[in-house]
Amino acid sequence: MMLNMSIWLGITLMLLCCTSWGSASTTSRYMRRLEEGVDLPENSTYFKIPKGYNAPQQVHIHQGDFEGKAVIISWITPDEAGDSKVLYGKAPGSKYTTSVTGEANTYSFYTYKSGYIHKAVISGLEFRTRYYYTLGTGDAAREFTFVTPPESKLDTPYAFGVIGDLGQTMDSVSTLQHYMKSFGQAVLYVGDLSYADAYPFDNNVRWDTWGRLVERSTAYQPWIWTAGNHELDYLPEVGETIPFQPYIHRYHVPFEASGSTSPLWYSIKRGPATIIVLSSYSAYGKYTPQYQWFLQTLEAVDRSVTPWLIILVHSPWYNSNSYHYYEGETMRVIFEPFVVKYKVDIVFSGHVHAYERTYPVSNVEYNIVNGLCTPKNDNSAPVYVVIGDGGNVEGLAGTFTDPQPAYSAFREASFGHGLLEIQNHTHAYFTWHRNQDGERVAADSAMFLNKYWT
């Protein structure tokens, strides 16, 4: 059965790569169990608390500016604030040349009180350089390392991982372990992080366990965050009426550097790509801050510096799964004309717990009364990839609409992650890796041609 499956998939992939629009849509017959997952227990070894008094935990880094020469380092100390100091340099061990001191904040959520959440920004870094950094002191000191991105230029290879809707089950662990065996240099994270809101009163202890789970990757390379619905933590019945508070306090992004007025939408350049992060759960209609910022940001992209233009948004605009079907439709209607006009290459989304890749399609002619409501092949339009299959407690979304719409190239309900290997200014190779295979196996793959340059 397994053998038949791989032959079958192999043939399908061969067909996909040499056929054009509409002639080869695949709904993979490879389906995993669909029941709900189970979160790891709070005392799971995957959530282990580092040793030493007040030891830094939940360490994660993010690009700290628009260009890629700064890094935001964030971590939590459980017992006291301490001094928010980061020692760093180009050599490991005690050979640090520099330090920077950030600041610590706390927040509360109903009866939960957070630890001390530190944020320090290291700036003036060199491109394409390995740095080491240490947090904490004495026997609680912990050292990590990261590599800065290459300077943005036309032909700059760079590999992004793509992960969404991760949660904290054994499936989440498997996704994380698979991804960490890849050559991904930064993660495009398409929203829904901890699923702490699956617990009574959104038990924020589960934000902490998640921070410790993902630290094994997030301390070493940036995960470019997108907010999903599970980041809302909106609980008016216990007085928590301001959405996104745990998320915003914990996950810092350099939104001001791209002229944004909210951490929920922002943009960075990283190597050959401009990444634009949107918020499905903030206002986006005409005249709203997000709408105006989005248009200005698209307008300002220089494709001779960052040839690749990528959007991250939690709720998909194209999705043929029955789960969350059409939830992203209003945002698609408002934003899609600009996405086509500015030749966005790829829109990555999560939310739906399955994988789906479309052909380059657009549906911008539809005006409610003209009946032109069928998406059509459009080489100026992006490819849409739904990849909310990180492995959270809610399980897989296994019911696809039937028949498979012509815009949908490949879809499968399995847990996994993606890898976008930008090779040069015209070619980027995308692969999807499901958890039941070894990391080297690609269950789906496609060569994406740059929309601006080809």
Ligand X SMILES: *[C@@H]1O[C@H](CO)[C@@H](O)[C@H](O)[C@H]1NC(C)=O
What are the residue numbers of the active site?
Answer: 324
Rounded Cα distance between 255 and 71, Å, is 13
Binding string to Fe ion for residues 279 to 318, with x set by CB under 5 A, is what?
----------------------------------------
- Name which of ligand X, Fe ion, none residue 41 binds, using a CB cut-off of 5 to 8 Å depending on partner kind: ligand X
Q: Nearest-CA neighbor of 77 among 60, 52, 57, 49?
A: 57
- Name which position in 32, 119, 269, 351 contacts Fe ion (CB under 5 A): 351
The answer to the question of residue 370 lying near ligand X (CB under 6 A) is no
* Residue listed under structure tokens 């041609």: 449
Q: Are 447 and 428 in contact (CB under 8 A)?
A: yes
423 near ligand X, judged by CB under 6 A:
yes
All residues at 6 or more sequence positions from 281 whose CB lies less than 8 Å from its CB, including other chains: 227, 228, 229, 231, 232, 243, 264, 314
What minimum distance in Å lies between the beta carbon of 231 and Fe ion? 9
Decide whether 192 or 345 has the Cβ nearer to Fe ion.
Answer: 192
Find the shortest distance in angstroms from Cβ 259 to Fe ion.
Answer: 27
Q: By CB under 5 A, name the one of 229, 258, 297, 358 that touches Fe ion.
A: 229
Q: How far apart, in Å, are the Cα atoms of 51 and each of 54, 56, 77, 180?
A: 9, 9, 12, 23
**Which among 385, 410, 413 is positioned nearest to 399, based on CA atoms?**
413
Closest CA to 75 of 102, 54, 56: 56
Site for Fe ion in 174-213 (CB under 5 A): 192
216 binds, among Fe ion, ligand X, none (CB under 5 to 8 A by kind): none
Residue of 427, 436, 439, 445 interacting with ligand X (CB under 6 A) = 427
Cβ at position 323, least distance to ligand X in Å? 32
Q: Which residues contact 139 (CB under 8 A, 6 or more apart)?
A: 51, 52, 53
Q: Rounded CA gap, 148 and 138, in Å?
A: 28
Identify the bridge partners of residue 57 per DSSP, sorted by sequence position. Answer: 76
The residue of the chain with the least Cβ separation from Fe ion equals 351
Binding of residue 421 to Fe ion (CB under 5 A): no
Which residue in the set 4, 20, 23, 45 belongs to the binding site for ligand X (CB under 6 A)? Answer: 45
Cα(264)–Cα(164) distance, rounded to whole angstroms? 16
Report in angstroms how near the CB of residue 46 gets to ligand X at its nearest.
10
Footprint of ligand X on residues 324-363 (CB under 6 A)?
Answer: none
C-beta of 50 vs 289, nearer to ligand X: 50
Number of residues forming the site for Fe ion (CB under 5 A): 4
CA atoms of 408 and 174, how far apart (whole Å): 27
Report the length, in residues, of the chain. 454
> 401 or 424, CB closer to ligand X?
424
Q: In terms of Cα–Cα distance, which of 174, 240, 154, 165 is closest to 202?
A: 240
351 binds, among ligand X, Fe ion, none (CB under 5 to 8 A by kind): Fe ion
Q: Rule CB under 6 A: say whether 445 interacts with ligand X.
A: no
CA separation, residue 352 to residues 26, 149, 199, 303, 389 (Å): 18, 30, 20, 31, 7
Q: Residue 10: is it exposed, middle or buried by C-beta count within 10 angstroms (0-12/13-18/19+)?
A: exposed
Binding partner of residue 43 among Fe ion, ligand X, none, CB cut-off 5 to 8 Å per kind: ligand X
| Total chain residues near ligand X (CB under 6 A) | 7
Q: How far apart, in whole angstroms, are the C-alpha atoms of residue 116 and residue 132?
A: 23
Does residue 426 belong to the site contacting ligand X (CB under 6 A)? yes
Strands (DSSP E) found in 90-157: 98-101, 103-105, 108-109, 112-113, 116-122, 130-135, 142-147
Contact window for ligand X (CB under 6 A) among 86-94, 129-137, 392-400, 418-426: 418-426
8 Å CB contact between 189 and 223: yes
We find the least distance from the C-beta atom of residue 315 to Fe ion, in angstroms, to be 7
CA distances 88 to 75, 96, 143, 236, 300, Å, are: 15, 5, 9, 42, 33
Nearer to ligand X, 155 or 302 (CB): 155
Q: Report the nearest approach of ligand X to the CB of residue 157 (Å).
A: 9
- Residue 229 interacts with, from ligand X, Fe ion, none (CB under 5-8 Å by kind): Fe ion
Give the interface segment with Fe ion, choosing from 140-148, 223-231, 412-420, 429-437 (CB under 5 A).
Answer: 223-231
Q: Are 317 and 349 in contact (CB under 8 A)?
A: yes
**Does residue 41 touch ligand X according to CB under 6 A?**
yes
192 binds, among Fe ion, ligand X, none (CB under 5 to 8 A by kind): Fe ion
401 binds ligand X (CB under 6 A): no
Report in angstroms how near the CB of residue 327 gets to Fe ion at its nearest. 9
The pair of structure tokens assigned to 41 is: 């227990």
Least separation in angstroms between CB 371 and ligand X: 40
Residues at the contact surface with Fe ion, assessed by CB under 5 A = 192, 228-229, 351
Residues at the contact surface with ligand X, assessed by CB under 6 A = 41, 43, 45, 423-424, 426-427
